[in-house]
Amino acid sequence: MLQEFKKFAMRGNVVDLAIGVIIGVAFGKIVDSLVNDIIMPIIGRVFGGLDFTNYFIGLTSAASQAPTYDAAKKAGAALGYGTFITVTVNFIIIAWVLFLVVKGMNRLLREEQAAPPAPAPPTRQEALLTEIRDLLKART
């Protein structure tokens, strides 16, 4: 059973998938930083200069009085629409980048398929027949 598992785990598709997941996690961290540290502060500045993740609606009186979303969650129920918007922007950026990657891969595959295959070298029989033909032409 251990040998069967080793054979399964070392299969190319499983290793490729693992590498893809690891790269995806690293890419997700880059996009999180891009959204949280660059894009959302600009959007927050345009919409009033507040930290966008602290946009919330308190559903209880204690949560409504809280200065931050984290404090509002501890005080009671709160709708954190700023965090939701941040995650949505994050998703849109990741989806756009993946769209561009797939589009590029499709373009490469189309170019690869459009290239005509190299002509096959003549077989021994074809070469002999060509030689015979040429000799017959030379006689006449």
Q: Which residues are CB-neighbours of 62 under 8 A, at least 6 positions away?
A: 75, 76
Residue listed under structure tokens 């080793």: 6
For residue 36, the model assigns a pLDDT of 79
Cα 39 from Cα 92, distance rounded (Å): 12
Q: What is the pLDDT of residues 86-118, one digit of tens each?
A: 888 888 888 888 888 889 888 887 877 776 777
Cα 116 from Cα 26, distance rounded (Å): 39
Cα 100 from Cα 120, distance rounded (Å): 36
The yes-or-no verdict on residue 9 having pLDDT over 70 is no
The yes-or-no verdict on residue 37 having pLDDT over 80 is yes
Expressed as residue numbers, the domain containing 64 is 2-139
Tell me how crowded residue 58 is: count the other CB atoms within 10 A of its CB.
19
Residue type for position 102: V
Cα 50 from Cα 38, distance rounded (Å): 14
CATH number (domain holding residue 93): 1.10.1200.120
The yes-or-no verdict on residue 5 having pLDDT over 80 is no
For residue 39, the model assigns a pLDDT of 81
Tell me how crowded residue 31 is: count the other CB atoms within 10 A of its CB.
18
Mean pLDDT of 51-80: 86
Count: domains in the chain:
1
Residue type for position 35: V
